[in-house]
Amino acid sequence: MLKFDSMNPDFNLQAPPLSIINVSKTYAEGSVSEYKALRGVSYEIKTHGIYGLIGPNGAGKTTLLRVISNVIKPDSGEVLIYGAAISRNPLAAKYKIGFLSATTGLYSRLSPRETLAYFGRLFDLGEEKIEKRIGELKSLFEMDEFIDKKNETLSFGQRQRVNIARCLLHEPEIFVFDEITEGLDVMSSTIVIKFIKYLAEIKKCVIFSTHDMNLAERLCENIIILHRGSIIQSGRINELKYKNGMNGRSLEDLFMSSIEAKGADSREL
Amino acid sequence: MNYNFNLKKTLIIFAHELKYMLRDRTTLFMMVLLPIIIYPLISVTSAYMFVKSSQSVKKSKTSVIINRDYPPFTDSIRRYFAKYKINYDIKFASLATAEIQSLITRNELSAYIELAKDFEKNIQASKSSEITLKFDLANDKSSVARAEVVNAVRNYKGELVEGNLSRLNISETLIFPFDINSVNIASPSQIGDSLLARILPMVIIMFATIGAFYPAIDVTAMEKERGTLETLLLAPAGALDIMFGKFLAVFCLTMFSIMINLASISLTFTHGFFIIKKISEASRALNIVNFSISPFSIIAIFVFMVPIACIMSALMMQVAIFARNFKEAQNYMTPILLVFMLPPMVSMLPGYSLNFSSALVPVVNLTLLLKGMLLSDYKISLALLTFAVNIAFSLITLVGAARTFASENVLFRPSEDIDVLYFWKYKTLKVNQELNIVKLFFVFQLVLLYYAGSFVQTFFEIKTGLIITEIFFIFLPAFIFIKLVYGNFLNTIEFKVPGLKTLAFSVFVALCGFGFTTVVTIFQSVVSSPPEQMLKQLQKAIMADSASGLFVIAVITALLPAICEEVMFRGMVLNALVKKYSPFYSALICGVLFGIFHFSFYRFIPTAVIGFYLSMLKISTGSILPSMAAHFINNFVIVVIANGEWYLSKGIRPPMSLMFLIEGLILFSFVIFPFVIGSMLRKAGRPSGAAGQDS
């Protein structure tokens, strides 16, 4: 995956794939509706693997994932991708990131092939390369039968596959998924889970948020618990359980006890 | 904000958007099919119907009844009808009015001629007599018959006079010294041009608006509704590339729509009517009109539409990007549609032509220019000015759209899932929700005031009307609203007794504000003088005939508004505004709303200024009483001065020194007013404890 790095000399493949340094984000600052979504979040992803981001509603998960993928800008702090600050060269960082969320949709009047071609052009892939990637992704996600149909005629599962293919198209290193299994039936979520596992096998970084503790426990080695805009626990699941004296208990128990402990604290603040 | 511009990415997005929109059936229908079908259909059928119906009225055989046969008269009428090929049966019967009516409604009769008793005898004896003609003007055939029967009877009268004169050997010219001939010197194509000049600019702009409407929503709000905006923002394209690519697509489609409309409309007018003329040779009305549009005018219209299409596209996109879905976008766009659809109506009005000041108003200037161009009556300098003004506006709207696109707050607007219509059900409101409710209520009160207020003021005497309006349409709704939403009335409006120093300061602010608005009003009256009607109305309201009358008027026009309007604006509206916006912006918005509330174009700027400084006064002092006091003083001074002016007009003059002093003071306060505002701003800037709370 060295070909993009000739374009972006800032990247250093020896550096950690993703470093989040003291990131804060406040919405509607200065008014009474002011809302601190992130309060000085720091985290480093040192190697490839699956990282689960969990936390109650309003904890700041979506905001954090959007900051990482450079859709919104933090008020303070910095995100580094392979050692390069995304604020310095925001467009370059986008080549390294693949993002997908539960609300991600498709252009209904385009076919999957046209969708992929459009994004391929936006990612400067070149027509030949686009052709080749579409061929690869078509066979990987079994899209032969519907690759030239209009997106609006596709089933939910088929759309999901197109979205995932779009996300993989430019061969990013870091995948950011925001609650992508939310509201999916068993079949569709199985596709997604297989996909996430596949990404880990080919040594990519996956950071995904979810409400599903069982899923997180099954998929991730590492977990990040976000609460009221701050990381309250992070690390390998087993180590965290051991540290909190919850060996043999589920991730859900660990999550609940961490939240409750913090909840009491923040009421005093 | 990243303002790097990448042409390649812009073109990729442009190509995508264009392709994507052209695949939409609604867009295609509105843009291509509608103009191609609608003009020929509407114009040809309506013209055809018009010709047909006028023919059918003429063709169908009806009758004229005369109460009795007097051969010289009847023969003359018959000769007249034969000469002009008017196909009426002439019958004889004596009828009562009711019978005539029933015959006319049954289409058996068109006109009734009643010769007076002894008509024959009087005519022969050259005595005066009478003919009565009866018609039913509510009936089409009868009203068509009217002109013809009247002319036939006049013709008989002429024949009689001629006969009498020749018998007396008198020259005809003694009685008919001259004939009146009205000749239409306009060529058929000139009449056609004048018709076209009225219709074409309006239709072109209207359809351009419709042409831009769907594409503008498609590239913005629909992108959010589909859930594709996020993926687009994740692609390595800057906000400027995305916005500009989308803009180009909307712009191209708008221009395309203009082109199709222009082609369709000119073909319809030049060739469509030609076909109808062939169909009905008899139609005199259509033969005097001849439509022709020179290729030069078509190219000129097209070129001049470029900046307008640019303004439309950019403005519509900027508004539609705020919406989260198609439906919301449609709601937001309605005012924009009106902005573009109403000015072109000006071109329909006779007598309006392009001049220096109207050339400065975008859209309006173009409709007037196009009208002038089609009539070959325009100045090159004004045409260039129009073009330059529209280009300037289009650049402004483009920059505005680019800024909006770069704002993540706009792109990721959170959903407000509260139903504002049921606000009282919610115990705690978020600021945005509260603001929306207040906005909604403000609009409600505006509508109430407009209809009920104007009704009351015409129904009652003006002073009684003012009292009812202030208490029942301004104070009471605001009071009920505050009670329902916030509970405690006095706390909410911040009814706190201020210190003497603060009160003195508010009097000072009011006087400075009065000086400032006076100068503003004078400036404004130089630019355009206020309508007489309004001045009279105002005078009637504030003129006193005695000292006690002055007191009553002071209560009605100064004290009452000071309390009622302050409760509504500085109590209800400003209260919600300051929670979201900075003091300056809150006061500005509140001022503009206050200006709108006075329902007068000429009073807008002065009242908005007053609203602004009253709001600043409330924010900086933290109490509503200073703004009430200032409001009272402002209105009171106006009453006093207006009454003073009345004495002046009666010839009672105060000493010159006093006049100079007053004028000097007004000028002085005009100069000092900005500094007063500045000092209030600094005071308001200090933390008052309301900011920094977590919701």
Structural domains in chain B, CATH included, are 7-38+188-411 (no CATH), 54-174 (3.40.190), 424-685 (no CATH)
At B556, give phi and psi (nearest 5°). -70, -45
**Which chain A residues contact residue B16 at CB under 8 A?**
118
Interface of A with B (CB under 8 A): 27-28, 30-36, 66, 69-73, 90-92, 94-95, 97, 99, 101, 103-110, 118-119, 121-124, 166
Q: Is the pLDDT of residue B273 over 70?
A: no
Stretch among A165-179, B344-358, B522-536 having the lowest mean pLDDT:
B522-536
Q: What does the pLDDT read at residue A29?
A: 63
CA distance B665 to B660: 8
3-class state of residue B594 by DSSP: helix
Instruction: Give pLDDT tens digits for A216-231.
Output: 888 888 999 998 888 9
Report the amino acid identity of residue A170: H
Kindly identify which residue of chain B lies nearest to residue A178, measuring between CA atoms.
Answer: B230
Q: What's the pLDDT score for residue B650?
A: 63
- Does residue A169 surpass a pLDDT of 90? yes
From chain A, the residues in CB contact with B412 under 8 A are 66, 71-72
How do A49-54 and A35-45 pair as beta strands? unpaired
Separation of alpha carbons B358 and B353, rounded Å: 8
List the structure tokens of A232. 């309250």
User: Tell me, what's the pLDDT at A2?
Assistant: 41
Q: How far is CA B132 from CA B59, B113, B407, in A?
A: 26, 6, 79
Taking the CA of residue A141 and the nearest CA in chain B, the distance in Å comes to 20
Identify which of A35, A71, A110 has the shortest CB distance to residue B230.
A71
Top pLDDT among B72 and B666 is at B72
The number of folded domains in chain A is 1
Q: Among positive and negative, which fits the CA dihedral B437, B443, B446, B450?
A: negative
Q: For B1, which residue in chain A has the nearest alpha carbon?
A: A73
Q: Do A257 and A89 touch, CB atoms closer than 8 A?
A: no
What residues of chain A lie within 8 A of the CB of B234, using their CB? Answer: 69-71, 94, 97, 99
pLDDT of residue B415: 46
Minimum Cα–Cα distance from A110: chain B residue: B20
From B20, B236, B581, residue closest to A94, measured CB to CB: B236
Contact between B228 and A105 using a beta-carbon 8 Å cutoff: yes
A51 DSSP assignment = E
Residue A80: phi and psi, rounded to 5, are: -110, 135
A110–B20 CB contact, under 8 Å? yes
Tell me which chain A residue has its CA closest to the CA of residue B693.
Answer: A32
CB contact under 8 A, B2 and A70: no
Nearest CA-CA distance, residue A164 and chain B, Å: 12
Report the pLDDT averaged over residues B534-558.
74
Please report which confidence band the pLDDT of residue A120 belongs to, taking 50, 70 and 90 as the band edges.
Answer: very high
User: Does B227 sit within 8 Å of A103, measured CB to CB?
Assistant: yes
Show the domain range for A59.
3-268
The structure tokens 């904890």 sit at: A59
Does the distance separating the beta carbons of A109 and B230 come in below 8 Å? no
Q: Which of A57, A96, A109 to mutate to test the interface with B (most CBs of B within 10 A)?
A: A109
- Chain A partners of B582 at a C-beta cutoff of 8 Å? 30
Q: Is the pLDDT of residue B449 over 70?
A: yes
Give this complex's ipTM: 0.87
Contact A72 B20 (CB under 8 A): no
Taking the C-alpha atoms of residue B599 and residue B121, their distance in angstroms, rounded to an integer, is 69
Q: Could you read off the pLDDT of B37-57 as tens digits, one per residue?
A: 877 777 777 777 766 666 665
Torsion angle in degrees (nearest 10) through CA of B295, B301, B307, B312: -120
| C-beta atoms of B231 and A124 within 8 A | no
Confidence of residue B138 (pLDDT cuts 50, 70, 90): confident
Smallest Cβ–Cβ distance between B16 and the set A92, A118, A166 belongs to A118
Helices (H) and strands (E) in chain B, counts: 33, 4
* Residue A39 CA to its chain's centroid (Å): 20
**Per-residue model confidence (pLDDT) at position B11:** 94
Name chain A contacts of B581, Cβ cutoff 8 Å: 31
Average pLDDT over residues B366-395: 87
Question: CATH no. for residue A223?
Answer: 3.40.50.300
